[in-house]
Chains A and B, each alone.
Chain A
Amino acid sequence: MNIELIGITVLWIFLYGYLIVASIDFGAGFFSYYSMLTGRKHLVHGIIERYLSPVWEVTNVFLIFFMVGMVGFFPDTAYYLGTTLLIPGSIAIVLLAIRGSYYAFSTYGSRDNKFYTLLYGGSGLLIPASLSIVLTISEGGYIVEHDNQVTLLYGKLFTSSYAWSVVLLALVSVLYISAAFLTYYADKAKDAKAMEVLRGFAIGWSAPTILSSLLVFFAIQNHNPEHFQNMMSLSWMFVLSFLCFLAATYLIWARKRLGSAFLLVMLQFAFAFFGYGAAHLPYIVYPMVSIHESITSPAMGVALIIAFIAGLLLLIPSLYLLMRLFLFNANYVQGKHHK
């Protein structure tokens, strides 16, 4: 494998990591607010808070990591996406800022403040939609370049069926992934009532998720036939993704082996996400930036990969420790030594 392929693969893995942890995080915020509105807060809030408190800071790092790596490996993306994304990017930043800080304010500072919960629950739901614009733009057709000036065609973006189907998919999959995880987590905590509420959410969001994935499929066929053809030649990945979805939904519905069910949900998104990504290659921003216009210096490429490996050697044991202490610690999960 050459350096640019290793680079984009590592970055895609990080983006996938962000997709999973951020979905759990954003969805949990929304469920927390929603259950407050519907008077079920006492049922699920403890579970959600126990999970989120030690990990919320880690979630953000995945996104930063992806972005720094992107610019390091593929500097042209900084130029094209940086210029065009000024407004959507700034809005995403503001939403991320509101969510992150009001999560901390409401959890550590001012308990039971409805307004703070609304801010972090609501903004969390808008973030995936605003971030998904990057994926839309990378399909090509929304940017023009002339006289050294790169512009985003807002009119075209807002009237595009593809763009809207991606936003829809981002929204519902966040709720689905989050609910599937929290169902498992509540089950581990032996909190049957919370599990029932969250299981309802997971089942409820499963059908919309798969329907909106189909919608994205159709929309991409219209918007970028070349990419669609590539996806077709990788169709086995999407078939596997669908099978994982069926198995996961069955297990959640039957209240059986909820850990495996969540693993299957992760696999469902892994197959779809990597299938989509592989079909998109060699382009990063179609058709302007491909992975072959990557770093011009092999020395930096090698240094980055060494830094990656060294970093992972440090991070993986630390993440393992974090999970041992919180996620997979029976006493903690059941709230026996909270704080």
Chain B
Amino acid sequence: MMSYDPAVYSRILTGLTLGFHIIFATIGVGVPVMIAIAEFLGIKKKDPHYMLLARRWARGFVITVAVGVVTGTSIGLQLNLLWPSFMQIAGQAIALPLFMETFAFFFEAIFLGIYLYTWDRFRNPWIHFSISIPVIIGSSASAFFITIVNAFMNTPQGFKLAGRTIIEIDPLVAMFNPATPTKTAHVLSSAYMTCAFVLSAIAAIALLAGKRHAYYQKALKLTMICGLVFSVATAFIGDLSGKFLAEYQPEKLAAAEWHFETSEQAALVLGGVLGENNEIRYGLKLPYVLSILAFGNPNAVVQGLNDTPEDLRPPLYIHYFFDIMVVIGSLSILLCIAYLWYNRRSRLSQNRMLPRWLLRCIVWSGPLAMLAIECGWIFAEAGRQPWILRGYMKTAEGATTAAHVDWMLLLFSLLYMVLGFTVWFILRRMFRTNTPEEELAKRGMEGGSHV
């Protein structure tokens, strides 16, 4: 057992809470978009299948929102409990985006309540659809503002520090720091993307189980097309993020790529292990690619990790997280293209079947996309160690000095385990006991146009 160090336990506990929260936060940001798209298509095409899709997604969504809200409350309070010195200083510099995040959440909470309870209330279906717009604005805006807070920790600006007192804050300069554009865009697009794949995985499971209703085909097609659009956008923004890192946080990029010596025509390394003296073994080296990723020019000079003092270097394990994120992202795009190709072919043939291996891959794409979110997040956060406020405050200086953080870690681990299991159990039961076929029959919604 390690010796008691509140800073270490605070890091683990914050990581645990956030790691658990972002699963539900991602769903909270992306799924409303997918629900709205399905409802839009349902009204536009007068197709009850899409309407049912929107309803069923919304029903499961409520359960995940509840966990998202409570774990979000957890992390909100925990920031103060575990990082009091950090909040004393940063809390006021980033008070504005924190505030606006809460407003956005408030706005979303109000309209989500309205949306969920007015399905059959209005004669004109577009009125109900229009309520989904403020829900999307609220959830995406709250992700946007909270990501600004994180961007500020990576590239703090807009204030001066005199001892422990922070002076001359310029709220807008602090908010719109260099990390803001790429971080917020990447968080939003990757959340939309992940939800598209999670929902396509559900449709694929049903198709694999032998269900033949047109409902599932439509669900799969809709989610895979959205998945393609969002994953291409995510890859594009990811490239911009790489260029941001090269300019503002070169040590993070260098650690991610095990790029030690500053050099031009730098190679990108995939996989591999580090030997003694930091030589890379078994890795796949792609010459010039890192220079292109960093500056869009194969001959550009990329700063190496040796230029950063040893005590300010991020941990080298972030390389693996970076790789996993990028590989999953790239495979997702390929998967969507493969799906579209096979879907077109199956349309022309008689039995309209997609190959089972393709469906299996789609089932995997959901959890893998979520894994990519977690990896990307760990990469971004561990990559700015040892700083909590890059250039201003080390992580250990921000942590609480209180006793018993280890016991709190145990308490919260138990809580998240129980919540995780219950959500899984409830969602499964909810959708198994009331199948779409039963629901269609009950609502008299049989039919609808074909795929």
Query: What residues of B have a CB within 8 angstroms of the CB of A295 in the complex?
Result: 92, 95, 169
Interface residues of A in 74-89 (CB under 8 A from B): 75-76, 78-87, 89
Give the residue of A296, A315, A326 whose beta carbon is less than 8 angstroms from that of B117.
Answer: A326
A304 close to B (CB within 8 Å): yes
- Interface bits A279-310 vs B (CB < 8 Å: 1, else 0): 00000000000000001110110011001100
A321 close to B (CB within 8 Å): yes
CB distance from A33 to the nearest CB of B (A): 18
Which of A91-99, A195-203, A230-238, A240-248 lies at the binding interface?
Answer: A91-99
Residue of B nearest to A84 (CB): B402
Is B70 a contact of A100 with CB atoms below 8 Å? yes
Residue of A nearest to B97 (CB): A307
Is B73 a contact of A296 with CB atoms below 8 Å? no
Is B87 a contact of A75 with CB atoms below 8 Å? yes
Residue of B nearest to A315 (CB): B106
Is A86 a contact of B405 with CB atoms below 8 Å? yes
A65 close to B (CB within 8 Å): yes
Give the residue of B73, B76, B82, B171 whose beta carbon is less than 8 angstroms from that of A300.
Answer: B171
Known A104-B66, A299-B169, A303-B171; contact A58-B98, beta-carbon cutoff 8 A = no
Interface residues of A in 46-75 (CB under 8 A from B): 53-55, 57-58, 60-61, 63-65, 67-69, 71-73, 75
Give the residue of B65, B99, B167 whose beta carbon is less than 8 angstroms from that of A57.
Answer: B65
Residue of A nearest to B59 (CB): A108
Give the residue of B70, B102, B400 whose beta carbon is less than 8 angstroms from that of A61.
Answer: B102
Bound form: Cα–Cα A155–B400 in Å? 21
Bound form: Cα–Cα A297–B92 in Å? 9
Is A85 a contact of B81 with CB atoms below 8 Å? yes
Bound form: Cα–Cα A90–B116 in Å? 31
A229 close to B (CB within 8 Å): no
A101 close to B (CB within 8 Å): yes
Give the residue of B65, B110, B400 whose beta carbon is less than 8 angstroms from that of A82.
Answer: B400
Residue of B nearest to A321 (CB): B114
Is B408 a contact of A96 with CB atoms below 8 Å? no
Residue of B nearest to A314 (CB): B107
Give the residue of A53, A67, A97, A307 whose beta carbon is less than 8 angstroms from that of B80.
Answer: A67
Bound form: Cα–Cα A94–B411 in Å? 8
Bound form: Cα–Cα A7–B103 in Å? 16
B74 close to A (CB within 8 Å): yes
- Interface bits B226-250 vs A (CB < 8 Å: 1, else 0): 0000000000000000000000000
Query: What residues of B have a CB within 8 angstroms of the CB of A97 in the complex?
Result: 70-71, 73-74, 415, 419
Bound form: Cα–Cα A326–B427 in Å? 27
Is A57 a contact of B426 with CB atoms below 8 Å? no
Residue of A nearest to B121 (CB): A337
B69 close to A (CB within 8 Å): yes
Is A75 a contact of B92 with CB atoms below 8 Å? yes
CB distance from A26 to the nearest CB of B (A): 14
Query: What residues of B have a CB within 8 angstroms of the CB of A299 in the complex?
Result: 169-171
Query: What residues of B have a CB within 8 angstroms of the CB of A68 in the complex?
Result: 76, 95, 98-99, 101-102
Is A109 a contact of B429 with CB atoms below 8 Å? yes
Known A57-B113, A104-B63; contact A315-B74, beta-carbon cutoff 8 A = no
Query: What residues of A have a CB within 8 angstroms of the CB of B415 in the complex?
Result: 94, 97-98
A325 close to B (CB within 8 Å): yes
Is B114 a contact of A71 with CB atoms below 8 Å? no
B348 close to A (CB within 8 Å): no
CB distance from A324 to the nearest CB of B (A): 10
Give the total of B residues in contact with A, Cβ under 8 Å.
Answer: 77
Known A54-B113, A100-B66; contact A339-B84, beta-carbon cutoff 8 A = no
Known A97-B419, A300-B96; contact A315-B107, beta-carbon cutoff 8 A = yes
Bound form: Cα–Cα A40–B194 in Å? 45
Bound form: Cα–Cα A142–B422 in Å? 38
Bound form: Cα–Cα A48–B24 in Å? 27
Is B80 a contact of A105 with CB atoms below 8 Å? no
Bound form: Cα–Cα A275–B93 in Å? 32
A322 close to B (CB within 8 Å): yes
Q: How many residue pairs bridge A and B at CB < 8 Å?
A: 231
Size bracket of the A interface: 35 or more
Query: What residues of B have a CB within 8 angstroms of the CB of A108 in the complex?
Result: 59, 62-63, 430
Give the residue of B63, B72, B85, B99 whose beta carbon is less than 8 angstroms from that of A304.
Answer: B99
Bound form: Cα–Cα A314–B138 in Å? 11
Is A86 a contact of B81 with CB atoms below 8 Å? yes
Is B88 a contact of A78 with CB atoms below 8 Å? yes
Is B74 a contact of A71 with CB atoms below 8 Å? no
Bound form: Cα–Cα A259–B159 in Å? 50
CB distance from A265 to the nearest CB of B (A): 24
Query: What residues of B have a CB within 8 angstroms of the CB of A86 in the complex?
Result: 81-82, 400, 402, 404-405, 408
Query: What residues of A have a CB within 8 angstroms of the CB of B99 in the complex?
Result: 68-69, 72, 304, 307-308, 311
* Candidate in A64, A81, A91, A93 with the most chain B CB atoms within 10 angstroms: A93
Query: What residues of B have a CB within 8 angstroms of the CB of A319 in the complex?
Result: 110
Query: What residues of B have a CB within 8 angstroms of the CB of A150 in the complex?
Result: 401
Query: What residues of A have a CB within 8 angstroms of the CB of B422 in the complex?
Result: 101-102, 105
Residue of A nearest to B111 (CB): A318
Is B91 a contact of A81 with CB atoms below 8 Å? no
B441 close to A (CB within 8 Å): no
Query: What residues of B have a CB within 8 angstroms of the CB of A325 in the complex?
Result: 114, 117-118, 121
Give the residue of A55, A61, A90, A98 whose beta carbon is less than 8 angstroms from that of B81.
Answer: A90
Residue of B nearest to A320 (CB): B110
Residue of A nearest to B72 (CB): A64
* Candidate in B73, B87, B93 with the most chain A CB atoms within 10 angstroms: B73
B327 close to A (CB within 8 Å): no
Bound form: Cα–Cα A162–B408 in Å? 27
Residue of A nearest to B416 (CB): A97
Is B426 a contact of A105 with CB atoms below 8 Å? yes
Is B81 a contact of A82 with CB atoms below 8 Å? yes
B311 close to A (CB within 8 Å): no
B334 close to A (CB within 8 Å): no
A38 close to B (CB within 8 Å): no
Bound form: Cα–Cα A126–B66 in Å? 19
Query: What residues of A have a CB within 8 angstroms of the CB of B85 in the complex?
Result: 79
Bound form: Cα–Cα A65–B59 in Å? 27
A110 close to B (CB within 8 Å): yes
Residue of A nearest to B118 (CB): A325
Query: What residues of B have a CB within 8 angstroms of the CB of A149 in the complex?
Result: 401
In the A-B complex, the 10 residue pairs with the closest CB atoms = A72-B95, A82-B84, A104-B66, A54-B113, A297-B169, A109-B426, A78-B87, A97-B70, A100-B70, A57-B109
A93-B74, A326-B113 given; name 10 further pairs at CB < 8 Å: A57-B109, A60-B73, A61-B106, A78-B88, A79-B88, A86-B400, A110-B429, A296-B166, A308-B99, A311-B106
Q: Show 8 A/B contacts (Cβ-Cβ < 8 Å), sorted by A.
A: A55-B113, A75-B91, A83-B84, A89-B80, A89-B81, A318-B110, A326-B114, A339-B120
Binding site for B on A (CB under 8 A): 53-55, 57-58, 60-61, 63-65, 67-69, 71-73, 75-76, 78-87, 89-94, 96-105, 108-110, 148-150, 295-297, 299-300, 303-304, 307-308, 311, 314-315, 318-319, 321-322, 325-326, 332, 337, 339
